[in-house]
Amino acid sequence: MDRIGMVIRSYYEHDALSQRALADLLGVSLGTANALVADCTAKGFLAEVPGTSLRKMTHRITESGIAYLENYRVNGAVIFADRPLDDLHSIFLYGFECRDQQITFPASALMPLPLRSLNGEVLIERLIRQLKEAGIRDITVVIGYMKEMFEYLADQFQVRILYNPGFITPGTLSSFCSAKEHIRGKRVYLLNGNIWLRTNLFHTYECGAKVSSVYRKGPVREWCLSLNKRNRVEETVYGGENTLVFFGPACPDPVTSKLWAAKAEQAFLMPKNNATDWESVILSRTDDQELYAERIEDGQIYRFHSPSELHSFGSEREKISSRTAVRAVAQACELPEASVSVLGTLIEGAESRIYLCDAGGKQLVCRIPIRSMHHSSLTSAASQNPFQRRALNPYAGEYAAYNAVRPLHLSEKIISFDVETGYKISRYYVNTLPVNLSDPASPTTVKCLSLLRMLHDAALVIDSPYDLDSQISAREQFCGDLAGFLFADYAEMRENMRKIQNGLASLKRPLVLCHNNPSADRFILLSGDNVRLADWKNAGMQDPLMDLAMFSLNNDYDEWKTLRILEIYLGRKPDAEEQYVTFGLAALSGFLGVLRAVSGGMRGIDAGDSTLRMYGFARRYYQIIVREHLDDCIKD
């Protein structure tokens, strides 16, 4: 390891670094750190500059120092994300042999670990983001199992997708060999897609070939490392006790990566190595390479082998979210945190938690998005969910909708809305009346329809569309072939939905601000005739009949009930075009609901019977259009 390069890198990454802090970073004595800084200064890589009042002089990197570092720039990264879950190898093989039999797996069981979320962020997306934050742009993702589900990464994150046809073999040697041309002769990070790094451990420059290492207590079944005083790997053995082990990313230099590629190629030619991991090939002998180990603090790197491990690790997010809610409410109400308490969890969703809080005797509702618990960056927060990205800030549309409807007094009362984090605090209404919308002509239903008509008649405009087509496209890309695997007539259903999409597009109907998801649990019925509509996160510009379509869908209305609410809403009988638009939007929304349920299951979210229900809705509403010849209103 080039210690001169390490010193220069330290000053590149940390401005005005003290020599004591440098000693801690490098793991050397203060005297050694002082000598290294003096050497770098004498060679012109560092320059003395005035310090602070506590430290008269400090050092800064020079242009010569940056030029020296360029010799150690990391060329790229390879993420291995091609493996099935450890306990799915036999199931996976058996399933493909028996597809003519009625063998099905829950979508959540099939989901590859790298695509699962932890604290609101997909594992592999987090790794890609951290690599790019370190200036590493040339990223290769090796895929195999459920390969279609990874393809969105190429467009969304500008990474290279590389398919490994040998992904089903038990060992990972084939993974390495499939990417060997992106490894050989390069300084490149190698890492598995099922790891989670608490902090960003990647660097723009690496001054030698290295592997990550952590200390493990007790017996371990990992590659154990023996190091000299300068952390060079002198001996390796598989299995040990109370020792340093290879764990996390590795980064060979150009010479070492050539050696590793040659070793992997030679081993791969022998069938007995099918079950061998690439780490075993490169670490079985290290006396022929100059390899160093970077000691990583405990709790910085986590590796997951199963969804249950991931779920157990993620359970801490609920505690974090609850504490965050207390802080958010206290800040919004200008109260000490001791005066705020969480009374209960109202909704525990995949993307947010909604709490009932007491703030000095007042009951409030506080929404805490899961992604906001760990990300302060607006850009990274906006990139976590690949669906419905209507803006760089995913809360901008909702925020704009609340501002637009405020003069109409249609929504719940908002106490505080942080558009960057998504924290939303609103009034909790007590003594509300039950909302039952099963009867389309009941007084309660009529009141709710009147609220929607008032909203639409206001013809409000915000800069945020609610685009069903783009949402369907994004979900389909994420689901890959799984939806078709679950439903035998999926291809026919998709073609029917495409006909509706084309028909609606040809009508070019005017758009207004719509809620886009009115349901019984979102209407707040107060005393008198006062009705409010809550939860505007899906709000955006759409055809007004979208709210009628969702009203029908959310209440499981049949054809007669849907036509009845249309008549009440319009004050007259709907014409053929209005019927076509309503049933068409309902069918597309049901179809989108199917894709949401499937993609949610793939991310470990149990959708219950939602998949079958929504598929039935989409089929039912399309059949109404065909039976009643409503598509005759479409002009060729």
pLDDT tens for 105-147 read 444 456 788 988 877 678 999 999 999 999 999 999 999 888 8
For tokens 């009867």, the residue is 439
Note the Cα 169 to chain centre separation in Å: 28
pLDDT score for 373: 42
**Cα dist. 239→248, 293, 326 in Å?**
17, 17, 46
Could you tell me if 390 and 509 lie in one domain? no
Cβ atoms of 517 and 556 closer than 8 Å: no
Structure tokens at 484: 């078709």
What's the average pLDDT block by block, 10 residues per block, for the chain (636 residues)?
90 81 86 91 89 67 92 94 65 41 48 81 90 93 88 88 87 89 95 90 93 90 88 89 91 94 88 80 84 87 82 63 86 90 81 88 89 37 38 79 96 94 92 91 95 97 92 81 73 93 93 96 88 95 97 94 96 96 96 85 64 88 92 74
Give the CATH number, domain containing residue 47. 1.10.10.10
With a CB cutoff of 8 Å and minimum separation 6, the contacts of 115 are: 122, 123, 124, 146, 149, 150, 602, 603
Could you tell me if 352 and 486 lie in one domain? no
Q: What is the b/e burial string over 523-537, where b = at least 16 CB atoms within 10 angstroms of the residue's CB?
A: bbbeeeeebbbbbbb
Structure tokens at 596: 């949401």
Could you tell me if 413 and 321 lie in one domain? yes
* Global pTM value: 0.56
Give the CATH number, domain containing residue 593. 3.90.1200.10
pLDDT score for 485: 66
Give the CATH number, domain containing residue 322. 3.30.200.20
Cβ atoms of 415 and 364 closer than 8 Å: yes
Cβ atoms of 369 and 352 closer than 8 Å: yes
pLDDT score for 384: 39
Structure tokens at 87: 């306990």
Give the CATH number, domain containing residue 113. 3.90.550.10
Alpha carbon distance 468, 470 (integer Å): 6
pLDDT score for 494: 92
The total number of structural domains that make up the chain: 4
Could you tell me if 178 and 304 lie in one domain? yes
Alpha carbon distance 524, 534 (integer Å): 7
Which of 27, 44, 71 is the C-terminal boundary of a domain?
71
Could you tell me if 220 and 368 lie in one domain? no
DSSP string, 565-590: HHHHHHTS---HHHHHHHHHHHHHHH
Could you tell me if 79 and 67 lie in one domain? no
Could you tell me if 49 and 78 lie in one domain? no
Could you tell me if 299 and 448 lie in one domain? no
Could you tell me if 171 and 63 lie in one domain? no
Q: What is the b/e burial string over 280-316, where b = at least 16 CB atoms within 10 angstroms of the residue's CB?
A: bbbbeebeebebbbbebeeeebbebeebeebeeebee
pLDDT score for 26: 85
Could you tell me if 487 and 606 lie in one domain? yes
Which of 428, 444, 478 is the C-terminal boundary of a domain?
428
pLDDT score for 84: 79
Could you tell me if 357 and 296 lie in one domain? no
Could you tell me if 546 and 493 lie in one domain? yes
Which of 44, 71, 98 is the C-terminal boundary of a domain?
71
Domain that holds residue 62: 3-71
